[in-house]
Structures are given as structure tokens and as C-alpha cells.
Amino acid sequence: MAFEITDSNFKQEVIDNEGVAVLDFWAEWCGPCRMISPIIDKLSAEYDGKALIGKVNVDENSEIPVEFGVRSIPTILIFKGGKLVDRHVGLTTQAVLAQKIESQLAS
């Protein structure tokens, strides 16, 4: 299960994180978000201990989406060393996201 990221724990869990963090911005009412959710959960298990895989509910947390210009969901943001390094908007496959994560882990 992906880690829940909130406005209150974002700095500690993502910005202060020296490693790779992947955030899925979603909402309960969003059909494509529900479709990508199992992929995010699988990636969370696959990269446990290697990367933080988290979910941000945009209806409950407004500061992070505003700060990073998230206007459409699902949006996936990838951080490394606390800095935004990649962004994907819309539905995608597990393979595409895994490739993006591997790329950041390798660099």
C-alpha cells in the first residue's frame, strides 16, 4: 500500500528525503485515478526500501498541488533529493513508471 502524503508531512517525507519519492495525485471521484491506484500499490511493494511511493489526495491536501502546479489528475511527480525531477500527467502503465523510477535510482 502506498504511503499517504499530506500537506503536513510532505516536507519531512519528500523534501527532506535524500532518495527517490514518487507521488500520485488523486481524488476519490476520479475514474482514471482509480485505474492507476493498483499500479501505484504494486510499485510501492516492488520498490519498498528503495523509493518512497506515496499518494496525495487533492481534495484533502491543497497546498502541495498548488505549489507544484498540479491541474489534472492523476498526476505523478517524481522527486530525487527533495527536488522535482519528472512529471507524468494522465493514465500510464506500470512499466512506464517503473522505467522512470529506475532511471532516477540509477543516476
* Cβ neighbours of 101 (radius 10 Å): 21
- Catalytic, out of 2, 5, 33, 70: 33
60 a catalytic residue:
no
DSSP 5-61: P-TTTHIIIIIT-SSEEEEEEE-TT-HHHHHHHHHHHHHHHHTTTTEEEEEEETTT-
- Catalytic, out of 7, 17, 19, 30: 30
83 a catalytic residue:
no
Report, as residue numbers or ranges, the catalytic residues.
30, 33
